[in-house]
Amino acid sequence: MINNEMNPILIFISACLINNILLIKFIGLCSFFGLSTNIKNSVGMGIAVTFVTVISTIISWLIYHLLLVPLDLVFLRTGTFILTIAALVQLEEMFIKKYLPPLYRAMGIYLPLITTNCAILGATFLNIDYSLNLYKSIIHGIGIAVGYTLAIILFAGLRERIQTAPVPKSLKGYPIAFFLASLMSLAFLGFKGLFGI
């Protein structure tokens, strides 16, 4: 379990590998299966998720600790966070389109999808649940995003290979993808115990 006393490097490794958000925690699976059919798509999604997670982690931490806690409105957490993320995604889309056109071309179509990506909302909730401070929340957010990118790119590589493999007819498509995910998840379980976490 991650807590505020942990070393930032350990928080990063724990969020990225040991408690990988997709394969161990099962958060954000819709996009994991939906967008991992080729490596190009998964790289775009990975960049977009990393970008939005880091920024929304900061904003949601500030909103929670500077606005909701002093005003005793903690029960509004779910609604505020999702609306903040939705607004943020819109803002970022406009900003990137104007100032960073190459990046926009790389992740343009994935940005709107991110609003309802559980991984980002999950990251903001976990930061609050683990009661991390701002600096460690950011590290934790980056760890989750890097773990997400790593898992989705690896998985897309595997799925590209499996398309040419002789798979039984009834397992083609999604069932075999689940089997692959299971094997990957087993591999990630191997990280458990690393550095005594």
Say whether residue 191 binds other proteins (CB under 8 A).
Answer: no
Closest distance of CB 191 from other proteins, Å: 12
The least CB distance from residue 73 to other proteins, in Å, is 11
Contact 61, 134 (CB under 8 A): yes
Residue 174 lies near other proteins (rule: CB under 8 A): yes
Region 14-43 residues binding other proteins, contact defined as CB under 8 A? 23-30, 33-34
- Determine which residue in the list 66, 69, 100, 189 makes contact with other proteins, applying CB under 8 A: 189
H or E stretch at 179: helix 174-189
x/- map, 100-129, other proteins, by CB under 8 A: ----------------xxx--xx--xx--x
Examine residue 3 and tell whether it contacts other proteins (CB under 8 A): no
Q: Closer CB to other proteins, residue 26 or residue 101?
A: 26
Is residue 77 part of the contact set for other proteins (CB under 8 A)?
yes
Question: How is residue 6 written in tokens?
Answer: 């942990």
Q: Which is nearer to other proteins, 30 or 194 (CB)?
A: 30
- In sign, the C-alpha dihedral spanning 116, 103, 140, 131 is negative
Cβ pair 55, 92 in contact under 8 A? yes
**Do the beta carbons of residue 194 and residue 18 sit within 8 Å?**
yes
**R_g of the chain, CA atoms, integer Å:** 18
At 31, the amino acid letter reads S
**Alpha-carbon distance 83 to 191, whole Å?**
35
Side chain identity, residue 13: I
Point out which residues bind other proteins (CB under 8 A). Answer: 23-30, 33-34, 75-79, 82-83, 86, 116-118, 121-122, 125-126, 129, 168-179, 181-183, 185-186, 189
